[in-house]
């Protein structure tokens, strides 16, 4: 099992950062434009049972990826888990922690590549670098947008 984590501090209270993640268009906002991903649907907001469906565009091959929210504690965390997709396992924790009026946002992912040990050895570094790139982008956008909201209030 592989693990990835990315954390940043946002100069806005937790409720502002949480509400930003509740937006209907959040996946469009947080998906890096260079990623070969199509957002098919998002239903249920952040609540337990919410569904998100993507299509990974890998050349001529389209790979479906469906995740379901399995845990949600408002203003604290939500967790999504792959129920159909390219990985043997994927669980993504989004955690929001209040620190002196700011928010520490942490994305933690546990995942297992098909072929386990061999694929982890061969491409685990590549997957990790793609995740690093994606979450750096997501956190930059979140920081920019939430701090803009916070400055207006």
pLDDT at residue 68, as a whole number:
98
Phi, psi of 24 (to 5 degrees): -60, -30
Low-confidence residues of the chain: pLDDT under 50:
none
pLDDT at residue 118, as a whole number:
64
Cβ atoms 151, 11 nearer than 8 A: no
Sign of CA dihedral 42, 40, 142, 130: positive
Q: Which domains does the chain have, with CATH numbers?
A: 2-33+73-152 (3.30.530.20)
pLDDT at residue 113, as a whole number:
85
- Length in residues, the chain: 153
pLDDT at residue 65, as a whole number:
96
């Amino acid at each position: 099992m592989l693990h990835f984590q990315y954390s940043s501090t946002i100069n806005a209270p937790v409720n502002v950062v949480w509400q930003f993640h509740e937006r209907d268009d959040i996946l469009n906002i947080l998906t890096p434009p260079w990623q070969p991903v199509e957002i098919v649907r998002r239903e249920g907001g952040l609540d337990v049972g919410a569904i998100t469906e993507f299509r990974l565009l890998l050349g001529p091959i389209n790979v479906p990826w469906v995740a379901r929210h399995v845990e949600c504690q408002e203003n604290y965390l939500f967790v999504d888990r792959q129920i159909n997709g390219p990985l043997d396992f994927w669980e993504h924790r989004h955690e929001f922690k209040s620190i002196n009026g700011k928010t520490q946002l942490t994305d933690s992912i546990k995942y297992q590549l098909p072929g386990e040990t061999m694929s982890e050895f061969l491409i685990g570094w590549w997957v990790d670098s793609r995740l690093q790139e994606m979450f750096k982008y997501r956190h930059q956008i979140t920081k920019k947008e939430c701090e803009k909201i916070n400055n207006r209030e």
